[in-house]
A = this chain, B = another copy of it.
Amino acid sequence: MLKGNMVIGQSGGPTAVINQSLVGAILAARQEAAITGILGARHGIAGIMNEDFIDLTTQSTEQLEALANTPAAGLGSVRLKPGKEECERVFEAFKKNDVRYFFYIGGNDSAETAHIISEMAKDANYDFCTVHIPKTIDNDLRVTDHCPGFASAARFVALAFMGDDRDNNALPGVKINVVMGRHAGFLTAASALARQADGDGPHLIYLPERVFDVEQFKVDVRRVVGEFGRCVVAVSEGVADADGNPIASSGEKDSHGNVQLSGTGALGDALAAHAKEAFKGENARVRADTFGYLQRSYPTIISAVDAREAREVGEFGVRYAVSGAGNGSVAIRRLSNAPYASEYFMTELSSVARETTSVADAFISAEGNDMTAAWLDYVRPLVGDLPLIGRL
């Protein structure tokens, strides 16, 4: 039996349930004789390089449960994509602290980091096990049916559109809501859950999986306003034109080379200006909101399925690691929709690292501006029941 300390870290954009995975892993690890000490890395691998650890063996269950119900990475997160030298520093810190288990909660970049370090350990004949625990509101990891963190963000978005559609119904106009999702439109697509009756918005849904044509957008908006006297639009922050250029952005890039899309109102304001052009001379009321970071860190708006699964992928990862079966990434397999049931399994780190997935063609309408019934069947059990919209 591989015996030694474990390190756990959190990486990338926070979610509302990422601390469920952390607490699930901690409490499972406390049950395992193979794990002699539990170290929490502050701000992911940035903390590991500096041996900035929190001892996680002594917190009360009460304290941990409060953390589990609190959004955003309790250990701190990081957006650092490490190079070879940085991975070597991480590996040195692991050897120095007799770390034999590494659990990294994050998306595809975190899986890649875990993979690189596991290869280093293999090359050095250092007995070591790395498990990636999936987390992303983008829902864009490969292999798994869906990603912990997505369903709670999707619930926030669905409720937001429910309320905002009633707002738009009360004070009609064109309302554009920009939803997180750089390359994958899963979160934007969740807005379709807001509809409960004919005429309910969102009336148009644009994902980054389809080319965004500004002229077609204007035609679409005019058509919807002609039919319903108003129009609610859901659009992914990552929509781009036929050449792959973002419709609007601040131009700033992070250390992964990604252009900054969140934390700015640029796209919403640009689309509002386009929509106003579509109604030139008609004094149209057009507004845009960018939902921003609220989508990933809003307290109390939690999918029950998501909270449970986020906890269980943490527990499953620890139990798998101490079983001696090797490295891997935890994935979810859906067993049934009614009642919803799922199970966990392991996949290769390399199968999750780097590449991501996006919304399947079968989920997107032929016109490319709406979702299909198959999408609703996929997403509804994850998000859970939504309140009934009352109306006269």
Interface residues of A (CB under 8 A from B): 10, 13-14, 16, 19, 40, 43, 54, 56, 59, 63-79, 159-160, 162-164, 166-167, 169-171, 175, 250, 262-266, 268-269, 272, 286-294, 296-301, 387-392
Contacts and interface: CB of A to CB of B under 8 A. Distances in A.
Given A159-B300, A164-B297, A391-B74, A171 B67 contact: no
B69 A299 contact: no
Contacts of A298: 159-160, 163
B294 A170 contact: no
A297 B73 contact: no
Copies in the complex: 2
A40 B167 CA distance: 18
A221 to B, nearest CB: 15
20 contacts: A13-B171, A56-B392, A64-B390, A66-B389, A66-B391, A68-B390, A70-B389, A70-B390, A70-B391, A79-B171, A163-B297, A163-B298, A163-B299, A263-B288, A265-B266, A265-B288, A266-B269, A299-B387, A300-B387, A301-B301
Nearest to A67: B390
Nearest to A12: B171
A164 to B, nearest CB: 6
A164 B294 contact: yes
A263 B178 CA distance: 11
Contacts of A289: 263, 290, 292-294
Contact of A272 (B68, B73, B263, B293): B263
Given A72-B170, A74-B391, A299-B159, A164 B293 contact: yes
* Most-contacted residue by chain B among A76, A293, A301 (CB, 10 A): A293
Given A67-B391, A175-B263, A289-B292, 8 more contacts: A66-B390, A74-B392, A166-B297, A263-B272, A264-B268, A265-B268, A265-B290, A290-B292
